[in-house]
Amino acid sequence: MAILPPETVTRFWGNVDFALDVLNNRQIAFVHVSVLNDPFDPYCFFETDFGESYPNLIRYVRDNHSHDLGWFRAHVTALSWGQTVRELRNYLQKLREFSFVLSTSSTKEGVEPKDNLYMWGHYGQGHRGIAIEFDTQSLANAVIAHHEAETLAPFTESSVWASVEYTERFAPITAAQIFEFMKQEKRLEDRKITARHPTSLDVYYSRMSVIKSTVWEREAEWRLMWRSTDTKPPIYQCPIGVDAIRRIFLGLDFPPARVDEVVASTRATFPVSSVFRARKRHGDLALEFDRLS
């Protein structure tokens, strides 16, 4: 069962001008995956536990499903398997080429992103940046509306939000997963079943864009993905509603000269939002926030 997104998520900006673009123009920017700081994100690698070798694949079927070997060899030939490998590699290359993402953080173990010193230090340019807290439902509505306006087609996905899965490793595709997938295709062809159901191979591919190393687990990331075949990196912009932003937080070392600029921009475009400025909590290695507007 899909995990429901939290009510709010937070995005950090180290560059104040980028955050002000959100506020002044009432839009979010999906960044191209090529500029993310994790070369494994998204995980667009085609790897199998049988070396992508057709003889090894056939050997698996013979050793584990000998009674299915005949139809399997007829459906998956050396030529068709080689073509499948090429098509999958091309598909994953295109997936990465056309993928844009908005990464955000959610509350983890009771700690809000605005209180996370790691996030301020790493993504907030040493506490000099801005953190914007978004309403997830409002962003979802904006993205769906923009998608339908751009494509002139209804949005069919179950949700625009995805929770990042953290794991030590992402095992290669197994011969067993290939066999399971092809077995369902054979049953459809023979009319033994009337509809496809998600196989473990389908699940594997669906995880590719939202799986990361446990190194990043402290970020508790939720993300929006956007696919675009006609937009060049690094960004794709999407308009958002006036209710999309709940709160805005200025870092502990945010430039004093720019505080009024942020407050004025917020009042003009997101009048229902509030702006807060961080200060050190007395006696603790922690933050407190004072409301400015």
Q: How confident is the model at residue 209 (pLDDT cuts 50, 70, 90)?
A: very high
- d(CA 190, CA 182) in angstroms, rounded, equals 12
Question: How do beta strands 165-167 and 211-213 pair?
Answer: parallel
- d(CA 39, CA 173) in angstroms, rounded, equals 20
Does position 16 have pLDDT exceeding 70, yes or no?
yes
pTM of the prediction? 0.91
Label residue 219 exposed, middle or buried (CB < 10 Å: 0-12, 13-18, 19+). buried
Q: What is the pLDDT of residue 160?
A: 93
User: Which phi and psi (to 5°) does residue 59 adopt?
Assistant: -60, -40
Does position 215 have pLDDT exceeding 70, yes or no?
yes
Left, alpha or beta for 138 (phi > 0: left; psi -120 to 50: alpha)? alpha
Cβ–Cβ < 8 Å for 49, 172? yes
Tokens coding 261: 């600029």
Beta bridge partners of 24: none
pLDDT in tens, 55-101: 999 999 999 999 999 999 999 999 999 999 999 999 999 999 999 99
Cβ–Cβ < 8 Å for 164, 210? yes
Residue 269: closest CA among 249, 288, 251, 244: 244
What are the C-alpha distances in Å from 258 to residues 244, 272, 277? 22, 21, 12
pLDDT in tens, 233-257: 899 999 999 999 999 999 999 999 9
Question: Per-domain residue ranges for the chain?
Answer: 8-291
- Contacts with 256 (C-beta within 8 Å, 6 or more apart), sequence order: none
The rounded mean pLDDT for the chain is 95
DSSP, res 44: -
What angle do helix axes 175-189 and 200-207 make, rounded to 10 degrees?
120
